[in-house]
A = this chain, B = another copy of it.
Amino acid sequence: MTTTPRHSVYLSKRGNSIRQHQGILQEGFILYGKDKHHDTDNPDGIINMGTSENKLCYDLLHKRMTKPDMLHIDPSLLQYPDWRGHTFLREQVAKFLTHYCCSPNPLKADNVVVMNGCGSLFSCIAAVICDPKDAILIPTPFYGVITEDLHLYSDVKLFHVPLDCETDGKNGRPFHLTVGNLEEGLKRAKQEGLIIRGVILMNPHNPLAEIYTPEEMIAFLQFAKRNELHAIIDEVYMLTVFDESVTFHSVLSVDSSLSHNRELVEALAQLGSFHGISGTTQHQVAQLLQDREWINEEFLPENRSRLKASYSYLTGELQSMGIPYLDRPTALYVWADLRKYLRESSFEEELSLWRRFLKHKVVLSCGQAFSCSVPGWFRIVFADQQHHLHLGQFRMRDALRQLEEKSISPDSHSVKEASEESKKSVREDSTDSDNATIVNSTSSPQSKSPDQLREKDIPVPSTGLMATEDFVLLDCQASKPAESLDSLIGTLRHQIRSSDWLEKNTPELSAGEDPEILDVFKALLQRARK
């Protein structure tokens, strides 16, 4: 593991603080950077299921980005630009957002500022709407790097509004954000003497992959307006929805009365020179954005379909391991509940589990990196090629299996009771509401009332096998028999180690499944019975 560097006399107090800063996400990314998995050159290297990158469509991007129109050099692309972004790019962005966000009024290029990353945008916005030590509200869990984005340069704090991982009975969604949460957070922040200048919302959410309904978003905006707060809405995952029955509603579509804050744009433009994008890249991005045929006919459909397949695979695996997760048909990751693998409910234990995964050469992101208020949740990125996903998944299983072996070995610290305790706590939690932390894969938060949601969210197994433990759910709408069998083996693996499952259950196998997998399955059964 990396160690915290010592104080350097060559740096200022601020410089030392910047240098010594090390979040868990950064630590994982750095370790991964030093030992990246490569199919042939470094097969034992780390599989990255911790960084939210879409690695599914490089073939499509490669094909499009090596077309001749990408290789364009114009003197103006090699000169100092308009620091808000070249006009040609801002115009394309405005058109793109008008279209894909269903904005009732066309966006103007003059209201668009393009920078070299979301981190830069957060840093700039914080600098111009906040003074040093001011704060911005954010519901937790949230994409943890925003903490550094706001703090490192701009010295702005985030004030956390913790969301409850258990449902409250009124609404079936765990980690559900309400205006009440925000009001309460704001009140508490004021009591602590903080000056709150805004609220950050992500839609689709990172790491929850939650999509807000237009009604919810309007209520959040009204909360912001009522309290004279800036509402900063990050919609970077807007085009990742991979379930056709679900519609994402951009803030640009729900509130046509949004003011276009010229002052903000002017202030951001002043900081633009620190966050500029090279002219050649601006050209390439503009070419991509304006190629609607490629976006609509090639990229988006293929991307959606691949995301959906990867998601199905990963969630199938999670189900087979009896790991609850939020079932949301968007984004690149799944928010999963690994609380049952903690020996006690603490962030030390969570970190220890994270390190265990790393030891098994797979990096995930643990909840404390997202300031989650309850230990044991992990964000697992699935947007990777199948063989990487399989290998990552295999290593995860391996790490968890070893953990379980350790916990039942007689010479190790006796954690069985703690583990039982944890299970019990989950059981009790799930008794509090009728659906616990699992939402079925056809739920669409936009299209249903809270009551309907609650009803629909009661998981209904459709095919295959359902374990009887109340926190384990299999909901395999298995289009791929091999995967459902994989899941089955996984479930089996998990169950045979610490329960009397084998005595009580007999797995049913569908016809037509790969006989080789069946052999593996049988061998596994044999080993399990030994």
A residues at B contact (CB < 8 Å) = 5, 8, 10-16, 18-19, 21, 29, 33, 51, 53, 55, 58, 61-62, 65-66, 70-73, 75, 78-80, 82, 116-117, 119-120, 123, 127-132, 134, 148, 152-154, 197, 230, 261, 263-264, 266-267, 270-271, 273-278, 280-281, 284
- Residues of B contacting A10 in the complex (Cβ-Cβ under 8 angstroms): 129, 230, 261, 263-264
A127 touches which of B14, B29, B276 (Cβ 8 Å): B14
Contact indicator B11/A263 (Cβ below 8 Å): yes
- Residues of B contacting A277 in the complex (Cβ-Cβ under 8 angstroms): 116, 278
Q: Give A53 to B277 CA distance when docked, in angstroms.
A: 17
Contact indicator B53/A80 (Cβ below 8 Å): yes
Min CB distance, A33 to chain B, in Å?
A: 6
Contact indicator A21/B270 (Cβ below 8 Å): yes
Please, which residue of chain B has its CB at the minimum distance from the CB of A68? B71
- Residues of B contacting A29 in the complex (Cβ-Cβ under 8 angstroms): 80
| Apart from A61-B78, A116-B278, A277-B278, 11 more pairs, CB < 8 Å | A8-B263, A12-B128, A13-B131, A14-B130, A51-B80, A65-B73, A66-B73, A116-B275, A117-B274, A117-B276, A153-B271
Listed A/B pairs (25) with beta-carbon separation below 8 Å: A8-B263, A10-B264, A11-B128, A11-B263, A12-B129, A13-B131, A14-B127, A14-B128, A14-B130, A14-B131, A15-B127, A16-B267, A18-B128, A18-B270, A53-B80, A66-B72, A66-B73, A116-B277, A127-B153, A132-B132, A148-B270, A153-B154, A153-B271, A274-B274, A278-B278
Q: Give A267 to B131 CA distance when docked, in angstroms.
A: 23
Q: Give A238 to B258 CA distance when docked, in angstroms.
A: 50
Given contacts A12-B197, A80-B51, A129-B12, contact A270 B152 (CB under 8 A): yes
Q: Which 8 A-B pairs have the closest CB atoms?
A: A15-B128, A8-B263, A19-B267, A278-B281, A58-B75, A12-B131, A65-B73, A71-B71
Count copies of this chain in the complex. 2
- Residues of B contacting A62 in the complex (Cβ-Cβ under 8 angstroms): 73
Q: Give A130 to B18 CA distance when docked, in angstroms.
A: 12
Q: Give A62 to B77 CA distance when docked, in angstroms.
A: 11
Min CB distance, A27 to chain B, in Å?
A: 12
Q: Give A70 to B77 CA distance when docked, in angstroms.
A: 15
Min CB distance, A160 to chain B, in Å?
A: 21
Please, which residue of chain B has its CB at the minimum distance from the CB of A5? B266
Min CB distance, A13 to chain B, in Å?
A: 5
- Residues of B contacting A152 in the complex (Cβ-Cβ under 8 angstroms): 127, 270-271, 274
- Residues of B contacting A129 in the complex (Cβ-Cβ under 8 angstroms): 10-12, 15
- Residues of B contacting A80 in the complex (Cβ-Cβ under 8 angstroms): 29, 51, 53
- Residues of B contacting A116 in the complex (Cβ-Cβ under 8 angstroms): 116, 275-278
Q: Give A14 to B14 CA distance when docked, in angstroms.
A: 19
- Residues of B contacting A271 in the complex (Cβ-Cβ under 8 angstroms): 18, 152-153
